[in-house]
């Protein structure tokens, strides 16, 4: 049976799923379009990259999530364009007509037009990057156990992270713990005195969006874990062997992880004054595209202002925006109006490692073990499905009590194995 309206949701992230769920009991047909067949819990990607979580713990098939909602369908396809005049979404699989469109396409790593960074570093924004990064860093230890040249070995065992926002800080802490407590049990031939984690930040402190006291506590915790923090200088260039900083210093590193920024991605053909910083689309107080009240833009893709400031690119903003869009569509079908979108800030947090986190919730500034337990509770709340929550809590508990990472698999290309053999001809005979 054809329903009165068709809603197309582009993106199956936090915002897109929230919008779909808000419409599951509304008399509309809903089509979710995404290039992947899964919903990804991006805030925990760094734990996949550091061997703590299995990829399946943070990714859930979209069709499984919505299969009980009879009015929701899923199309795995790439969106190439949106025809606003004809109300059509053009994808690699089909052309979809819509009555309402929800654009929830999220963001990608922003290299700030630095081609060297794009070629010689890896981001941490999708599942394939996290799995490749995990394999790469473990393979660095495999190669280092065979290399006789001291400079080459030190470069293999230096891991540089550019950008000290939540992702950079969380990954640096997780990586430092992996190196200090787990990998020495596996790689007895590696001198762990050669291993270093370097966190580089152009600003004057890490976690700049947090209160200064929490930034200082987080920096102290990272240094105690062995992370070297470089502040107040940006990256001039990156090559195959490391990073050159603006002050002329050099960090020789085989691995560079770029977490310095993100940029919105959207299929909408908007330019000039319609775009805000980081490629975000300016929206009305109702989260709609100016001149097109049937088109909602939410989450990282939207530059929504509140109290004179643009809302941050955070999962809670996307979730609340998705719920709001769904409710507005439902109200319009009934001929009712709606109030402007209002974001309820529930706080921000970042984990520094096992048993340590910082959180600011309204006037409260929390750190240490209590912050870590709050962080666990919030992330379990937002993970999709009981299985994923069970897998996550089991992995966190295992790591907490035994200092072990259960997922240390190298999904190696043949070139990686070949490079090992070239570096030590005896490798094949061991």
Nearest C-alpha neighbor of 169 from the set 126, 214, 112, 218 = 218
pLDDT value at residue 390:
92
**Is residue 48 in some structural domain?**
no
Q: Pinpoint the alpha helices (H) of 178-255.
A: 183-186, 212-224
pLDDT value at residue 272:
85
pLDDT value at residue 412:
58
**170 is known as an active-site residue:** yes
User: Last residue of some domain: 277, 309, 333?
Assistant: 333
* Same-domain status, 290 and 244: no
pLDDT value at residue 413:
52
* Same-domain status, 188 and 127: yes
Q: How far is CA 121 from CA 116, 171, 263, 339, in A?
A: 8, 15, 17, 44
Asked if 276 and 310 touch (Cβ cutoff 8 Å), the reply is: yes
C-alpha to C-alpha distance for 330 and 239, rounded to whole angstroms: 52
Asked if 338 and 286 touch (Cβ cutoff 8 Å), the reply is: yes
Q: Which residues contact 283 (CB under 8 A, 6 or more apart)?
A: 289, 290, 296, 297, 302, 303, 304
**Is residue 367 in some structural domain?**
yes
Considering Cα of 369, then 375, then 380, then 381, what sign does the dihedral take?
positive
φ, ψ dihedrals at 134, nearest 5°: -60, -45
**Is residue 72 in some structural domain?**
no
CATH label of the domain that carries residue 159: 3.50.50.100
Q: Which of 170, 177, 201, 254 is catalytic?
A: 170
C-alpha to C-alpha distance for 17 and 92, rounded to whole angstroms: 21
Low-confidence residues of the chain: pLDDT under 70: 1, 412-430
* Same-domain status, 212 and 272: no
pLDDT value at residue 72:
97
pLDDT value at residue 404:
84
**Is residue 355 in some structural domain?**
yes
Radius of gyration of the chain (CA): 23
Asked if 197 and 226 touch (Cβ cutoff 8 Å), the reply is: yes
* Same-domain status, 135 and 193: yes
Q: How many domains does the chain have?
A: 2
User: Domain range for residue 359?
Assistant: 115-256+348-422
CATH label of the domain that carries residue 88: 3.50.50.60
């Amino acid at each position: 049976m054809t329903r009165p309206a068709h809603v197309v949701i582009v993106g199956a992230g936090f915002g897109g799923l929230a919008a779909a769920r808000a419409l599951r009991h509304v008399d509309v047909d809903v089509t979710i379009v995404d290039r992947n067949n899964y919903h990804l819990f991006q805030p925990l990607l760094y734990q996949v990259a550091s061997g703590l979580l299995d990829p399946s713990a943070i990714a859930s098939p979209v069709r499984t999530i919505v299969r009980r909602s009879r009015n929701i369908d899923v199309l795995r396809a790439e969106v190439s364009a949106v025809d606003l005049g004809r109300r059509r979404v053009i994808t690699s699989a089909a052309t979809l007509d819509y009555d309402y469109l929800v654009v929830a396409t999220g963001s990608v790593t922003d290299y700030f037009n630095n081609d060297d960074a794009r070629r010689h570093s890896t981001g941490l924004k999708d599942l394939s990057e996290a799995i490749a990064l995990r394999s790469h860093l473990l393979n660095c230890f495999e190669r280092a156990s065979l290399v006789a040249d001291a400079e080459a070995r030190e470069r293999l065992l230096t891991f540089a992270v550019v950008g000290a926002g939540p992702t950079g800080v969380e990954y640096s802490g997780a990586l430092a713990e992996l190196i200090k407590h787990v990998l020495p049990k596996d790689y007895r031939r590696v001198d762990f005195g050669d291993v270093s984690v370097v966190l580089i930040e152009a600003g004057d402190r890490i976690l700049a969006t947090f209160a200064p006291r929490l930034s200082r506590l987080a920096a102290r915790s990272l240094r105690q874990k062995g992370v070297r923090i470089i502040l107040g200088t940006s990256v001039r260039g990156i090559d195959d062997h490391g990073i050159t900083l603006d002050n002329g210093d050099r960090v020789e590193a085989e691995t560079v992880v770029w977490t310095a920024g993100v940029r919105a991605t959207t299929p909408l053909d908007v330019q000039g004054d319609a775009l805000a910083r980081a490629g975000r689309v300016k929206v009305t107080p109702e989260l709609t595209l100016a001149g097109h009240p049937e088109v909602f833009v939410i989450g990282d893709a939207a530059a929504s202002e509140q109290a004179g400031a643009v809302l941050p690119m955070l999962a809670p903003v996307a979730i609340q925006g998705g719920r709001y869009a769904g409710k507005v569509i439902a109200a319009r079908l009934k001929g009712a109006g709606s109030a402007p979108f209002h974001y309820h800030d529930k706080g921000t947090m970042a984990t520094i490692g096992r048993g340590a986190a910082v959180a600011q919730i309204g006037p409260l500034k929390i750190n240490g073990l209590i912050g870590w337990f709050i962080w666990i509770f919030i992330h379990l709340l937002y993970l999709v499905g009981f299985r994923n929550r069970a897998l996550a809590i089991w992995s966190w508990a295992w790591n907490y009590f035994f200092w072990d990472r259960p997922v240390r698999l190298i999904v190696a290309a043949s070139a990686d194995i070949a490079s090992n053999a070239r570096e030590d001809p005896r490798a094949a005979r061991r």
